[in-house]
């Protein structure tokens, strides 16, 4: 069973990565999406916009809670990935297979995908509070993940692992830690509000 899953993972990787090098336009788009800047900055700017968004104070407060939860969940997600990397190392696809590499050679563990964990954490937590913004971010997370496989730096299972880390981080932030952080977030928003910043 595990052997079959590994084979499926490899076949999926080869199918997606095999698209690289065929269309300069698609390669250019994927090279734009794959790096540490384009999608992470766009998602973080969406959080900045969300902080100031809302037609009324109630909606705005919901958005601001979403932003604070997203920051918390992002910290948890990074901690989970770091802890996993200390215990388990999976080589990158280019280290074991012939690939069309459109990116540099990262040296950290391939599993779970840290960029996918970051992107899915942001997207899922925002989706819980604001469906429209969350759907947009989810689309961006999917594109980012696809680009990571397309450019040869992750297996599809790494992306799945990253998405799972995102789900765990979101659950930890919004369920397990809710009782502790919710009053703190209320105070933080109230404080910012008294200075006309929330």
Q: Which stretch binds another protein (CB under 8 A): 6-14, 92-100, 101-109, 123-131?
A: 101-109
Does position 197 interact with another protein (CB under 8 A)? The reply is yes
Spatial distance between the Cα atoms of 64 and 185, rounded to a whole number of angstroms? 9
Tell me whether the omega of the peptide bond preceding residue 112 falls within 30 degrees of 0, making it cis. yes
Instruction: List all residues 6 or more positions away from 122 whose beta carbon is below 8 Å from its beta carbon.
Output: 43, 46, 47, 70, 74, 137, 141
Among 40, 168, 171, 181, binds another protein (CB under 8 A): 40
Of the two residues 134 and 152, which places its CB atom closer to another protein in the complex? 152
- Closer to another protein by CB, 11 or 197: give it: 197
- Residue for token digits 């990935």? 81
Spatial distance between the Cα atoms of 57 and 36, rounded to a whole number of angstroms: 34
Comparing CB distances to another protein, the nearer of 49 and 135 is 49
Number of residues that bind another protein (CB under 8 A): 30
Token output for 35 = 């790096």
Q: Tokens 């604001």: give the residue.
A: 130
Determine contact, residues 41/49, Cβ cutoff 8 Å. Answer: no
100 binds another protein (CB under 8 A): no
| Least gap, CB of 78 to another protein (angstroms) | 7
Nearer to another protein (CB atom), residue 3 or residue 25: 25
Could you tell me the smallest distance in angstroms from the CB atom of residue 189 to another protein? 9
Q: How far apart are the first and last CA of the chain?
A: 52
Provide the binding-site residues for another protein, judged by CB under 8 A.
31-32, 34-38, 40-41, 44-45, 48-49, 52-55, 57, 60, 78, 102-104, 114, 193-198
């Amino acid at each position: 069973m595990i052997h079959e899953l590994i084979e499926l993972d490899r076949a999926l990787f080869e199918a997606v990565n095999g698209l690289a090098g065929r269309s300069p336009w698609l390669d250019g788009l994927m090279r734009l999406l794959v790096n540490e800047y384009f999608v992470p900055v766009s998602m973080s700017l969406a959080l900045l916009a969300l902080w100031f968004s809302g037609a009324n104070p109630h909606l705005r407060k919901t958005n601001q809670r979403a932003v604070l939860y997203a920051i918390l969940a992002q910290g948890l997600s990074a901690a989970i990935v770091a802890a996993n990397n200390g215990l388990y190392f999976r080589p990158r696809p280019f280290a074991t297979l012939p690939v069309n590499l459109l990116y540099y050679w990262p040296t950290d563990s391939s599993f779970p995908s840290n960029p996918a964990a970051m992107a899915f954490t942001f997207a899922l937590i925002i989706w819980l509070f604001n469906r429209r913004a969350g759907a947009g971010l989810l689309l961006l997370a999917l594109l980012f993940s696809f680009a990571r496989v397309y450019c040869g730096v992750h297996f599809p299972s790494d992306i799945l692992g990253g998405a799972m880390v995102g789900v765990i981080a979101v659950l930890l932030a919004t369920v397990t830690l809710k009782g502790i952080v919710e009053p703190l977030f209320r105070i933080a928003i109230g404080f910012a509000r008294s200075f006309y910043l929330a």
